[in-house]
Amino acid sequence: MKISQRVAGVEYAIRDIALEARKLQNQGKKITYLNIGDPLQYGFQPPDRVKEAMIKAIKEGQNYYASSEGLPELRQAITEKEKAKGLQVLPDDILVTNGVSEGLEMIMASIVEPGDEVLIPGPYYPPYASYVRLFGGKPIEFLVDLHNSTPNLDDIRSKITEKTVAICLISPNNPTGVVFSEKSLRDLIDLANEYDLYVICDEIYDQIVFDEKFTGIGKVSRDSPVILLNGFSKVHLMSGWRIGYIAFNQSPKLDLLRENVPKLSRVRIATNLPVQYAALESLRGPQDYISKFVSELKKRRDYTIKRLNEIPGMSCSNPKGAFYAFPKIENNKYGSDKEFVTELLKATGILTVHGSGFGTQYGTGHFRMVFLPDIPILQQALDQIEDFVT
Ligand code: PLP
């Protein structure tokens, strides 16, 4: 029977490639999963007090439909977090969602009409392109210099047309680890204001930075139409619980969205209520588990990038945040990056993601691997990658 063209075009390379690995695993091959950006698959866990907050909520009977916008105490705690980063928000400007993914879908559903164009950083986290396409729009990739972490403003300017409605920023970025400086963010806001564009900014990795202090978009937003997406999957180690939020900056240009997006949150009823209590605890209690997690990741980042750059025919920029390496395959005897990843998987059992899955324009010729496993596992995987390419 017929299906919609919209859904036929949806792709998610990170999980699509895992189907290949599962086939090999079923045939008895040992797979090293370096494809999924989920710290919980590599031994990290939320603190016990966060787990207990969820259990307590369940035992005390908080098992009903929550309010669609989210638990008031959680909206308050999120407001405090985002205000401290500079965004001008009140609790009414926060919508709690089932992860950033749902927030992104709601925002794209609310701003993209067929034929509209949305600027996204190249290479990009795949759902940004998928949701734009799903609502009939066209994702347009803009160039980001991976080595000095700067967006190319001339490239962006040359790609803005009368159909452009929004620019998306992801900082720290998946898959590149690029973190935008305050100056770059200021330039991007000025550019967006010049052309009257929404700014959708994803800060899900906001506390996972290694070299410099993080600057959030809020610091430079003033009264610009900034829609912030954030969540608890990465920094707060709650990926499987599915919780995130949308925060609307106090800008009169967002009044219509502020009025209409909550309709979508009402249609889908609510976010899981016990998880909202856990999220509240994760924001309110001691935060030292985050710095321990990040300092552990920094060691893994340093090791991975050093090793990748020592492999002949491979080069990798230094990710300043998040937990992904995005090496360039300089000497690819396998033709495409997808073939490289597939052959690597077959030969070694190491599962990575082909760079073109993050956009053919700027992702092609690369692959993405997570540096979440501990160093002995990374060492073994990098030894195998080195043997495979040399
Ligand atoms: N945004 C970015 C940039 C991501 O890398 C990811 C997950 O990898 C997500 C959003 C997904 O977030 P969530 O788990 O809150 O849906």
Identify the structural domains of the chain with CATH numbers, from first to last. 5-45+288-389 (3.90.1150.10), 64-284 (3.40.640.10)
Tens digits of per-residue pLDDT, 304-337?
A: 999 999 999 999 999 999 999 999 999 788 889 9
Average pLDDT over residues 28-51: 96
**Ligand 1 binding pocket mutation candidate from 173, 174, 205 (most atoms within 8 A of CB):** 174
CA–centroid distance, residue 260 to ligand 1 (Å) = 23
| pLDDT tens figures, 45-95 | 999 999 999 999 999 999 999 999 999 999 999 999 999 999 999 999 999
Across the range 4-29, mean pLDDT stands at 83
Residue nearest to atom 12 of ligand 1 (CA): 100
Q: Using one digit for the tens of pLDDT, what is the confidence trace for 113-139?
A: 999 999 999 999 999 999 999 999 999
Instruction: Give the residues across from 354 on adjacent strands.
Output: 367
pLDDT at 114: 96
Average pLDDT over residues 96-120: 98
- 324, 370 in Cβ contact below 8 A? yes
Rounded Cα distance, 67 and 265, in Å: 9
Q: Whose CA is nearest to atom 3 of ligand 1?
A: 174
> What integer pLDDT is reported at residue 5 of this predicted model?
80
Give pLDDT, residue 4: 84
If you measure from the C-alpha of residue 53 to the centroid of ligand 1, how many angstroms do you get, rounded to a whole number? 23
| 152 vs 29: CA distance, rounded Å | 43
pLDDT per residue as tens digits for the range 190-247: 999 999 999 999 999 999 999 999 999 999 999 999 999 999 999 999 999 999 999 9
- CA 229–ligand 1 middle distance (angstroms): 9
How far, in Å, from the CA of 42 to the mean position of ligand 1?
Answer: 17
Confidence at residue 147, expressed as pLDDT on a 0 to 100 scale: 87
Task: Report the 10 Å Cβ neighbour count for 333.
Answer: 10
Find the residues whose C-beta lies inside 6 A of ligand 1: 37, 99-101, 125, 170, 174, 202, 204, 231, 233, 239, 244
| Pairing of the two strands 350-351 and 32-33 | parallel
154-187 confidence digits (pLDDT tens): 999 999 999 999 999 999 999 999 999 999 999 9
Q: What is the pLDDT of residue 115?
A: 97
Which residue carries 């959030």 as its tokens? 216
Beta-carbon-side half-sphere exposure of residue 97 (alpha carbons within 13 Å)? 26
pLDDT of residue 242: 98
Q: What percent of the chain has pLDDT over 70?
A: 100
Report ipTM (2 d.p.). 0.99
Query: How many A from CA of 158 to the centre of ligand 1?
Result: 29
Distance 312 CA to ligand 1 centre (A): 32
